[in-house]
Structure 1
Amino acid sequence: MCIFGPFVSTYSFHLTEFLHSCQGLLSITKRDFWQLFRAAWDSTLTKTTILKAFEATGLAPFNLERILTWFQARQDEHPSSSSSSSSVLSASDWRKIETLLWEVVEDIYDSKAVKLSHTIHTIAAQKIILKHEVKQLCEALHNEKKCYKRGKALLLELPEDYNSGAIFWSPSKVQKAHDRQIEKDAEEKAVQLQKDEDSKWREELKLQKAALLEERRCERAAAKIEQAQACEQKALQAQELWKA
């Protein structure tokens, strides 16, 4: 219990913090469990903790009286509350605010003073709750965003006689899988660049065709205008000849 107890307490603390941070909106995945377990393991199962566990049980150094001390009464220590010296009190200091109120108010039975005290208490409680909810919702949003940042699975080549059992990969095979993943990413990037170039070329070709069509349209419009002017000129010449 000298090691397992602190480990369980630390893991429970991290688990509670995680549940509070996500407001119960997210389920615990394998990745979340490993992070919580690893944090509790690293913080409790240290060399100092293990040595203290042996010392607490009287094994090293050997001490027969060590276990007997557990049954002795222990005095509870209550930390003294520290007074705030700031001029502005926060919502968490509602007790101090109420104390200051009653120091200023002469008649503690005045209905207005009692109403003001209740109002201060209500506003302080609402502010604390809202601040806590905003903080935890922000952490829940942060955790939700992290869930989408999944790593890519390595391109590990399974053996031919694989039967769905556990496989231990050597560092060299893992490195080869990393190399294959890098090559695959490079190929995908090259394909995407080629697609972008093709799309850009098609867009330029489309613009060239549009410009050519616009030029032809302008030429046809100019030809129509010239033809209309020629017809008008011929009509004027014919009219002059008829008058003559």
Structure 2
Amino acid sequence: MTPDSIKKSFQATGVWPMDAEVILKRFNNTTTRAAEASKIGEHGDRNSWIQLRKVFDAAVADRAKVEAKQLAASLHSLQTQNELLHHENDGLRAALDIKTKHQKKSYPLDLQQPEQHHGGATFWSPRKIHEAREREATKQHEAEQLQLQKTEMKELKAASIIYKKKLAEEAKAERQRAKQARDAARKASADERIKSRALKQQQRAAATSQKAGDTHKKGKRAASSTRISKISRRHRVVDAGSGAAPAPPPPPPPPKMTTRGRPINVPAKFK
């Protein structure tokens, strides 16, 4: 630390000699730079070509160069397109605002003029206007309630149609099930009748065959008994003519048996 350096430090900070502008200049310089930066950032959007030309002339030292001329032409073209886009955007916004305003319907208030009204200007009190607005609000509320009632009736009608359709489908399914049950019962009854008829036919055929066998056996038994009676009579005649002692009677024939081993009872007229 030397005396000269201490004096210089005092002068740089404005301590001695006392000078407040030394410090204020530093802060003012920073503020000015920030303001210039903000102004530079705003250039090019809504500025005209004249304003951009001034900025271009201040930034470019040699404006006679080809590159500088090309840059100026490009800036001019971009600025023109930007202005056209801004005009188009403003027109579209205005048209949209007008369309939105037209969509809002306005209804005149029902102020209920007196019966004896002969034309001319009519002045309405705030109370009359308030009553007219209340009547208009009541009308709108009634219209909304009517629309809500119509919507509910429409929904109820749709639900009723769906319910009736469901009932019809259930009734149709029940009829189909009943028909299937009747068809099954008819089929079972027909099968039972077919089985009964087949059984009766079998029984009838068995009875017919048994009757035919019995008739054939009866014919054989009758023929054998006739032949035996003739032989016995012949023997009796021979014995009577010879005068010899009568021979002992022949033993009775063995009882006839069926194929199953059962005895056959011969009727009395065939004995």
Q: 1:155 aligned to 2:106?
A: no
| Structure 1, gaps ≥5 residues long | 1-81
**CA distance in structure 2 between the partners assigned to 1:128 and 1:199 by the alignment:** 55
Which residue number corresponds to residue 208 of structure 1? 163
Q: CA shift at 1:207, angstroms?
A: 1.8
**CA distance in structure 2 between the partners assigned to 1:98 and 1:162 by the alignment:** 71
Which residue number corresponds to residue 181 of structure 2? 226
Q: CA shift at 1:117, angstroms?
A: 3.3
Instruction: Name segments (4+ residues, structure 1) moved above 6 Å.
Output: none
C-alpha offsets along residues 221-240 of structure 1, whole Å, 9 cap, x if unaligned?
A: 32333344344444544555
What does residue range 39-78 of structure 1 map to in structure 2 within 5 Å? none
Q: CA shift at 1:133, angstroms?
A: 1.4
Q: RMSD of aligned C-alpha atoms?
A: 3.5
Which residue number corresponds to residue 90 of structure 1? 44
Q: CA shift at 1:141, angstroms?
A: 0.4
- Larger Rg over CA atoms: 2
Q: TM-score, normalised by structure 1?
A: 0.51
Which residue number corresponds to residue 4 of structure 1? none
Q: CA shift at 1:125, angstroms?
A: 1.1
Give yes or no for contact 1:98–1:117 (8 Å, CA) kept in 2. no
Which residue number corresponds to residue 173 of structure 1? 128
C-alpha offsets along residues 94-114 of structure 1, whole Å, 9 cap, x if unaligned?
A: 62697279738x68343x654
**Cα distance change of structure 1 residues 170 and 235 upon mapping to structure 2, 3 Å threshold:** same
**CA distance in structure 2 between the partners assigned to 1:100 and 1:151 by the alignment:** 56
Give yes or no for contact 2:60–2:68 (8 Å, CA) kept in 1. no
Q: CA shift at 1:213, angstroms?
A: 1.1
Which residue number corresponds to residue 108 of structure 1? 64
| Structure 2, gaps ≥5 residues long | 1-34, 200-271
Q: Give me the identity figure in percent.
A: 27
Task: Give the match's secondary structure for 1:151.
Answer: coil
Which residue number corresponds to residue 192 of structure 1? 147
Q: CA shift at 1:122, angstroms?
A: 1.2
Number of matched residues? 161
Q: TM-score, normalised by structure 2?
A: 0.47
Give yes or no for contact 1:89–1:97 (8 Å, CA) kept in 2. no
